[in-house]
Amino acid sequence: MLRIFNTARRYFCSDAGSIVPIVALLLPLIIGFAGVGVDISSWMMSKRRLQAAADAGALAGAWEMTKGGTVSDAEAAALKEAINNGYDSSLTGTLTTTVTTSNGVSTVKTDIHQTVNVWFSSVFIDRAVYADTSASAETVRAGGYCALALSTTASSAISGGGSTSVNSPNCGLAANSSSVTSVTLSGSTTMHVGAVNLVGSFAPNSGFTYASMHTHTAPIPDPYADLTVPASSCSAGAMSHPAFYNSSATLNPGTFCGGIRVTGGNTLITLNPGVYVMDGGDFEMSSGGITGTDVTIILTNSGAPSYGEYGNVHLTGNSSVYLKAPTTGPYAGVAIYQDRRTNTGDVNHITGTAGVEIDGAIYTPSSPLTFGGNGRVLSGSTALCTQLIAQTVQFQGNPAMDNNCAGSGTRDIGIPSAKLVL
């Protein structure tokens, strides 16, 4: 007995002997801290997973807006991609998507508030633990292109000849032709532009300067591919008698069977706001002037092919042209539109030497377009929004072009994208 007593006394008096009860007393606390560490790691991993889900959701919503989708489309896309990237809709919490649009740029914000599984901490915490994440993405407008040649095969899809001078550093050029000479310059032509986007390549020329050059790229889609032609019903006989003007006049919108022809050096035709349909005839002027604001001119043929060919636009000679497209409505941003069903291959000319300013899109998707004349001599004080979209585009003279398209109603030429901003 005495030996047992001495052994116990030596144990409790020893420093080493005090460790075991201390450890026994602290063990629950040690295990608790270890558990909290595990829970914190789990919470951080869950938050990273939810952040990836929020990023994916915001980007998906923004991409949906670049395609012209509605707010509902963006919300559905955001939810779908968030689930695909780690958001668990079966857990308690919320996913909220907010879409705002300003100056043509849409911002999609995705907020996630969701419970996180914690095992050890639940002993001390009597309520659910949440992780909160948020992400914002915005649409990026397409490139600042002023001219797009839609032909997929043409050599010289974009070209200039003679003494042409194009000085439009804010305007990009794009050609969907796979030709190795999709852009060509001849004579003493000089061309100074912004970004150049080519499916094919180009013929090097010292007169061709640009901010950037991208060759062998994907084709740029036609931004007005869904544009329709209004109904008209001119007879074949009426189409053979175009409206003829050799003195100044003010016209109202409507259908002009056989088109419009203007002659006379002092003739000024003023177009009141609206849509002017040239049914079965040209929009033609060799001298004089035409001016109109909030105007769209459409060339079609309601009886083609039996009633003849589609009309073309020919604004040439010593003529002055100032047209500004409407900013709203079904033809917002479009100043001149030639029916895409035309198959004549005739060239459209807008080359008035007395001055040409078109504020808006000239859209001849199935025919070549020659654009030029002398610019900056009419309105002159304001920057233009110029869009030339045709099978091929040829420049002449000293054309006025600019890319001041905010609020113009035009559609972007290029491939829009989306980017994370938060």
pLDDT in tens, 304-352: 888 888 899 999 888 888 999 999 999 999 999 999 999 777 899 998 8
Q: Is the pLDDT of residue 78 over 60?
A: yes
Structure tokens at 173: 């050029």
Question: Given this model, what pLDDT does residue 1 score?
Answer: 59
Stated pTM of the model: 0.74
- d(Cα 128, Cα 40) in Å, to the nearest integer? 14
pLDDT in tens, 145-172: 999 999 999 999 999 988 899 998 989 9
Q: What pLDDT band is residue 80 in, cutting at 50, 70 and 90?
A: very high
